[in-house]
A and B are shown apart, each in its own frame.
Chain A
Amino acid sequence: QQQVKQSPQSLIVQKGGISIINCAYENTAFDYFPWYQQFPGKGPALLIAIRPDVSEKKEGRFTISFNKSAKQFSLHIMDSQPGDSATYFCAASMGRQGNKLVFGAGTILRVKS
């Protein structure tokens, strides 16, 4: 049973468009929500992260939106570029369990030029 549910499984976006990936969780003890980006042949790399005391965090073209009451968070990639084509994982952790990360199933993003 996956503690963090991620959708969609795959996504195709035109260059310049907005990519949106959604995640939902059940455990309200989670207190840290990162997104990881993985290119083929590489390990995942931290992209951006948010804590539940804020509703949005933006870093460049990447934004996390967080809805604590709905227990959902999403990644928005503005002005999507072919170089953004990768697999994206949402994750969650809780401090009282030593911050072990629980990952979503991943979304394969393809940005068409």
Chain B
Amino acid sequence: DADVTQTPRNRITKTGKRIMLECSQTKGHDRMYWYRQDPGLGLRLIYYSFDVKDINKGEISDGYSVSRQAQAKFSLSLESAIPNQTALYFCATSDLGRTYGYTFGSGTRLTVV
């Protein structure tokens, strides 16, 4: 099983619909992140959580919300999806170890029509 699992892998939804992207991890890391990837823009941070009771906005949080249900689970919601939220979404985890490396999931490709 993958260390960081994202569901669904692909999703097409209609404008105005609420959608939730889910992320679970088996790394045992405290820190979890949601990034959005767009061509030519790289990866931009949406929300992050350093532990279960900690939720912080990233640089592009408008239109998104998150929930940290447990150490291993971090979900991203689009309350009312719009076409410019069409993107590739990644969940990542990290610890405060020596390398500060992130472990990414395989991504969710979201299309809003």
Contact = CB atoms under 8 A, between A and B. Distances in A.
B50 A34 contact: no
Contacts of A36: 102
Given A98-B50, A100-B48, A43 B92 contact: yes
A89 B43 contact: yes
Given A32-B100, A34-B100, A89 B42 contact: yes
Given A42-B106, A43-B4, A43-B105, A6 B100 contact: no
B90 A43 contact: yes
Interface residues of B, number: 25
19 contacts: A2-B42, A34-B101, A41-B106, A42-B107, A43-B92, A43-B105, A43-B107, A44-B43, A45-B104, A49-B99, A89-B42, A98-B31, A98-B50, A99-B100, A100-B45, A103-B35, A104-B42, A106-B40, A106-B43
Interface of B: 4, 31, 33, 35, 40-45, 48, 50, 58, 90, 92, 94, 96, 99-102, 104-107
Interface of A: 2, 6, 9, 32, 34, 36, 41-46, 49, 89, 93, 98-106
